[in-house]
Amino acid sequence: MFRKILIANRGEIAVRVERACQEMGIRTVAVYSEVDRHALHVRCADEAYLIGPPPAGESYLVIDKIIDAARKSGAEAIHPGYGFLAENPTFAERCEKEGIKLIGPSAHAMRTMGSKTLARKTVRAAGVPVVPGTVEPIATEEEVFRVAGEIGFPVMLKATAGGGGKGLRLVRGEEDLRSSLRMAKSEAKSAFSDDSIYIEKYIENPRHVEIQILGDRHGNYVHLGERECSIQRRHQKVIEESPSVVITPQVRAAMGKVAIDAGRAANYEGVGTVEFLVDKEINFYFLEMNTRLQVEHPVTEMVTGVDIVKEQIRIAAGEKLSLRQEDVKQTGHAIECRVYAEDPDRNFMPCPGLITSLRTPGGPGVRDDSGVFEGFEIPIYYDPIISKLVVWGKDRQEAVVRMKRALGEYIVTGVKTTIPFHIRVMNNQHFLEGNFDTNFIDKVFFQEERERELPHFHVAVITAAIQLFLDERKQAIARRPVGAGEPASLWKYSSRPGMPKFR
């Protein structure tokens, strides 16, 4: 087993990996940019190396700096977490060259699955069902129009190097194709410095269900069942759960087998996730394979009892899988809510800033994977994730009420967070019934929210009035010139979700 591991990441996932290492008796090495000196992943590590200025492009994404820190610290392995260099084959090759074990799959597997088009080719050859569309990146606008015509609208434009919902555009008709292509390419360029795009038939109202697999270098594979990831906004997952209400044991077994086949097809070593689109008839189509530890891995840990990060490290150290397929049992139900520093009442605008107070939820069945603490300033340079709140219940009903309870206990002040959004989802009838697809949030939820009456308007106004009463008494506050209040009061006021109605 490794004696020392460098974690080439930051925030909650770096902390998650450090926790696994500490429990395995492995020394941890953190890397940090200039704004992250106070960050939790630095405070909790055994060693820490400064790797440059705040922008990821000058620190967390610079291979030379990561390798240099690994060499100086004598780390035998590097855990990339997710994002940053996690699915970068060049980095994987460099690690190999330097004789440092990258905790993840081979560069070859990353390349195969990293290119959506090559991935589709590969798994299709292995008998995995895929969505109709191109398997090659598309060169010209003309070609886009031709292919779209062939497979028929609606179509999806996707960044070949894509992930995390970036460089994705749904196009319902020819008229939007040109502008959407421009946006997709520009986003892809800025996010992955690669603007190549491919096109796919768009499955109407699909569910997004994924299978977690583990594979060792001895050719053993197991799957840990599915995660239901259909609760998305702007094509980005925000709530995940396991099991999925629509997946029967038979379908689960079939998806698991296919997922493992996909893994084998790429000689996959480590932990990986095979994503599927599931239509109304519960047909499933391969969407992509993520060759990394997934943000939402904890929901699977909660229902299977398997510590996925520890397994990942053992696999990287060359050990055989510690469990066989028949050892894997799903018990109860788990849900994860991703808590971001975003304002759900202003179209999820990012809200970086200082966390002025914090109360994390506790009690039975509650797990908080956080990257912050009271007094931490969330930098503007990285994804604004605060923590992943995960609950376990003996069934879905208990898990949902428990999540609602935990979200109610969760206090984060100083920055806006998505906690209120999650509470509203937990209260939504369709969600409670498990009746949703990937369009639920954008198409259904916000509509219903707009109609909803808010119950405690008087308490809200009265509390604000008491605060104002005390403020005014404390001092006559220097006020802004008359009328300057408008911008705030006019800013998209009319379309704010959750607006109370009066009759």
Partner 1 sequence: MNYIATIGDREIKVTVEEVGVARYLVTGEGKEHLVDAHQVQDSIWSILYGTDSFEVDVQGRDEEYEVLIDGDCYKFSLMNEQRKALIRAGRKGAAGKALVTSPMPGKVVKLLVAEGEEVQTDQGVIVVEAMKMENELKSAVTGKVKEIFVKEGEVVESGAKLLLVE
- Bridge partners (DSSP) of residue 197 are 138, 159
Task: Encode 283-322: b = buried (16+ Cβ within 10 Å), e = exposed.
Answer: ebbbbbbbbbbbbbbbbbbbbbebbbbbbbbbbbbeeebe
Q: Which of 409, 439, 497, 499 binds a copy of itself (CB under 8 A)?
A: 409
Q: Is 1 in the site for partner 1 (CB under 8 A)?
A: no
Window contacting partner 1 (CB under 8 A); options: 278-286, 287-295, 344-352, 387-395? 344-352
CA distance 170 to 158: 9
Q: Is 478 in the site for partner 1 (CB under 8 A)?
A: no
Q: Can you give the C-alpha Rg of the chain in angstroms?
A: 23
Window contacting partner 1 (CB under 8 A); options: 9-17, 245-253, 309-317, 370-378? 370-378
Instruction: Look up residue 495 and give its two tokens.
Output: 């379309």
CA distance 389 to 397: 17
- Contact assessment for residue 209 and residue 279, using Cβ atoms and an 8 Å cutoff: no
Q: Which of 201, 314, 402, 422 binds a copy of itself (CB under 8 A)?
A: 402
Q: What's the burial of 486, exposed, middle or buried (CB within 10 Å: 0-12/13-18/19+)? A: exposed
Q: Find the shortest distance in angstroms from Cβ 214 to a copy of itself.
A: 16
Q: How far is CA 388 from CA 324, 367, 410, in A?
A: 28, 8, 12
Q: Which is nearer to partner 1, 174 or 472 (CB)?
A: 472
Torsion sign, CA atoms 164, 225, 326, 330: positive
Q: Find the shortest distance in angstroms from Cβ 369 to a copy of itself.
A: 6
Q: What's the burial of 493, exposed, middle or buried (CB within 10 Å: 0-12/13-18/19+)? A: exposed
Site string for a copy of itself, 367-386 (x = CB under 8 A): xxxx--xxx-----------
Q: Find the shortest distance in angstroms from Cβ 85 to a copy of itself.
A: 23
CA distance 490 to 353: 24
Q: Is 240 in the site for a copy of itself (CB under 8 A)?
A: no
Considering only residues 88 through 117, tell me which ones interact with partner 1, judged by CB under 8 A: none
Window contacting partner 1 (CB under 8 A); options: 129-137, 323-331, 375-383, 431-439? 375-383
Please identify which residue in the block is written with the tokens 């990831």.
Answer: 229
Q: Is 360 in the site for a copy of itself (CB under 8 A)?
A: yes
Q: Find the shortest distance in angstroms from Cβ 4 to a copy of itself.
A: 17
CA distance 253 to 21: 32
- Contact assessment for residue 53 and residue 378, using Cβ atoms and an 8 Å cutoff: no
Q: Is 334 in the site for partner 1 (CB under 8 A)?
A: no
Helices 116-125, 107-114: crossing angle, 10 deg rounding: 100
Q: Find the shortest distance in angstroms from Cβ 178 to a copy of itself.
A: 47
Instruction: Look up residue 497 and give its two tokens.
Output: 């979700």
Considering only residues 5 through 24, tell me which ones interact with a copy of itself, judged by CB under 8 A: 15-16, 19, 22-24
Choose the one of partner 1, a copy of itself, none that binds residue 246, judging by a C-beta under 5 to 8 angstroms depending on kind.
none
Q: Is 267 in the site for a copy of itself (CB under 8 A)?
A: no
CA distance 354 to 375: 6
Considering only residues 172 through 191, tell me which ones interact with partner 1, judged by CB under 8 A: 183, 186-187, 190-191
Q: Is 4 in the site for a copy of itself (CB under 8 A)?
A: no
The one catalytic residue among 292, 314, 396, 424: 292
Window contacting partner 1 (CB under 8 A); options: 88-96, 245-253, 266-274, 349-357? 349-357
Q: Which of 3, 362, 364, 373 binds partner 1 (CB under 8 A)?
A: 373
Q: Find the shortest distance in angstroms from Cβ 375 to partner 1.
A: 6
Q: How far is CA 153 from CA 145, 172, 195, in A?
A: 10, 6, 22
Total residues contacting a copy of itself by CB under 8 A comes to: 38
292 is catalytic: yes
Q: Which is nearer to partner 1, 125 or 478 (CB)?
A: 478
The 3-state secondary structure of 379-415, one letter per residue: CCCCCCEEEEEEEEECCHHHHHHHHHHHHHHCEEECC
Q: Is 68 in the site for partner 1 (CB under 8 A)?
A: no
Considering only residues 273 through 302, tell me which ones interact with a copy of itself, judged by CB under 8 A: 298, 301
Q: Which residues carry out catalysis?
A: 292
